[in-house]
Structure 1
């Protein structure tokens, strides 16, 4: 970061990108509904497979879908509104992280019997869809703070699914529930980092805009 201009700075200022472009709207709608589908799959398999990690990722993808919805609303809104939507996205991730950790503690105390095969199957399917989402988002040039947030979410989801696959293998080999709980907490950690990163990004954009306004006033 530092003094360098971030990729989305010109977008926030509206210098060289149409914030309401059809390509951006279409891409966000596709990614939104893909995340809704993934979330439903995670919830169903998490419930049937007694898996904290799957349910955690279901909550994560649900929050992503809400964020993409906010991003769609933000496309034609003011700079301040867009930064507010990004901040809300970051705060949602922080809250989500706390909920996952609490559920992992509950399962550790009460016990659970996660299904390793179901964990691996659902995570593999979700990982393929996450890669598709990343591909669609990377095709868009001049991403603003909200699209950078969307890219962060999709990358975090892909990493989380890789962890679930590994945990599923260990669960099948050992019959223990701790790999499922460890991955659930790890997903919370990734969400925590992503939330902080998004909040920092929005804060940086605020300072860049204020600096631009200050320079114009001096001129």
Structure 2
């Protein structure tokens, strides 16, 4: 028996549209200033910010696909695409951080003078735009890895831009060019922690591991402790998407039938207490081996 208590998904279409538009505007501004000032650093950073537009588009596409209805061929629809998108965004972000680090290390050993005033002004614009975009996703990133991927990209750019502002001001007053790459490396180190967490969680969901927020021991204890349930087997808990969790289990009972009402109560409890919205439960009578998947284990019961 299967029941899905909550299929409500927040629509982030407007959020993504605003975020992408803001970042495209900034890319144009940054590239324009880079060409006008002859700054390769600004032009290169504009290219990096363009990659963030791609990441936002990827997350948006996955979010849109996840809302499409299931079909006979794709019985879960495209929900899993959100997990693939979050994993891809994590990998892209890791490469982006690696690129920033590589450039920063190069500048430590071969400092290049920067046009401090121009760089500070443009970077300050970047702080505002990226911070606004990050704030658009701040609530959703706590419960949706796909949104978290987009959020981390924006946080990374906000941090890097803020670091550039601080470093630029410092260089203006001291002339110490090495401050710029050192600040960049520090910011990358901080952002790397969140990126690795995103990659770990995304990879776990991609291989159908139990989602991090699910208390699997509590689920097992609850199901095993149900009245008339002598044993449970073939328990599986996995992510249907970055926001939805599914469960399937076989309950071996001393009664002929738990009844639809009791099953609904169990499913509601799994939803309310453990955050599992889609549960499939098969009831088997103790001693009846004809319907067992794990017959060896059930014989022992």
Deviation at 1:174, TM superposition (A): 1.6
Deviation at 1:128, TM superposition (A): 1.7
- Conserved in 1, the CA contact under 8 Å of 2:93 and 2:153? no
**Which residue is equivalent to 1:105?**
105
Kindly report which structure 2 residues correspond to 1:37-48, keeping only aligned pairs within 5 A, or say none: 37-45=25-33, 48=37
**Which residue is equivalent to 1:216?**
248
State how far apart, in whole Å, the 2-side matches of 1:104 and 1:156 are.
15
- Conserved in 1, the CA contact under 8 Å of 2:163 and 2:184? no
Q: Is 1:90 matched with 2:116? A: no
Q: Is 1:17 matched with 2:8? A: yes
Deviations 1:93-118 (CA, angstroms, capped at 9, x unpaired): 11112222222333344441112212
Deviations 1:70-106 (CA, angstroms, capped at 9, x unpaired): 1121122423221111111111111112222222333
- Cα 1:58–1:150, aligned 2, differ >3 Å: closer, same or farther? same
Give the TM-score normalised by the residue count of structure 2.
0.57
Q: Is 1:68 matched with 2:71? A: no
- Conserved in 2, the CA contact under 8 Å of 1:50 and 1:112? no
**Which residue is equivalent to 2:164?**
164
State how far apart, in whole Å, the 2-side matches of 1:90 and 1:188 are.
14
Q: Which has the higher contact order (CA 8 A, sep 6+)?
A: 1
> Can you give the 5+ residue segments of structure 1 that lack an aligned partner in the other structure?
1-12
- Cα 1:153–1:99, aligned 2, differ >3 Å: closer, same or farther? closer
Deviation at 1:139, TM superposition (A): 6.5
Choose between structure 1 and 2: higher helix proportion.
Answer: 1
Secondary structure, aligned partner of 2:249: helix
Choose between structure 1 and 2: higher strand proportion.
Answer: 2
State how far apart, in whole Å, the 2-side matches of 1:161 and 1:208 are.
37
Secondary structure, aligned partner of 2:8: coil
Deviations 1:120-179 (CA, angstroms, capped at 9, x unpaired): 211221222223223333466985221122222223332333222210111101223212
Given candidates 18, 21, 28, the residue that maps to 1:33 is 21
Deviations 1:17-39 (CA, angstroms, capped at 9, x unpaired): 236x3xx1121021122122323
Give the TM-score normalised by the residue count of structure 1.
0.75
- Cα 1:115–1:141, aligned 2, differ >3 Å: closer, same or farther? closer
- Conserved in 2, the CA contact under 8 Å of 1:59 and 1:96? no
State how far apart, in whole Å, the 1-side matches of 2:102 and 2:140 are.
37
State how far apart, in whole Å, the 1-side matches of 2:5 and 2:92 are.
27
Structure of greater Rg: 2
Secondary structure, aligned partner of 1:207: coil
State how far apart, in whole Å, the 2-side matches of 1:152 and 1:36 are.
18
CA RMSD across the alignment:
3.2
- Cα 1:138–1:184, aligned 2, differ >3 Å: closer, same or farther? closer
Q: Is 1:192 matched with 2:192? A: yes
State how far apart, in whole Å, the 2-side matches of 1:30 and 1:196 are.
27
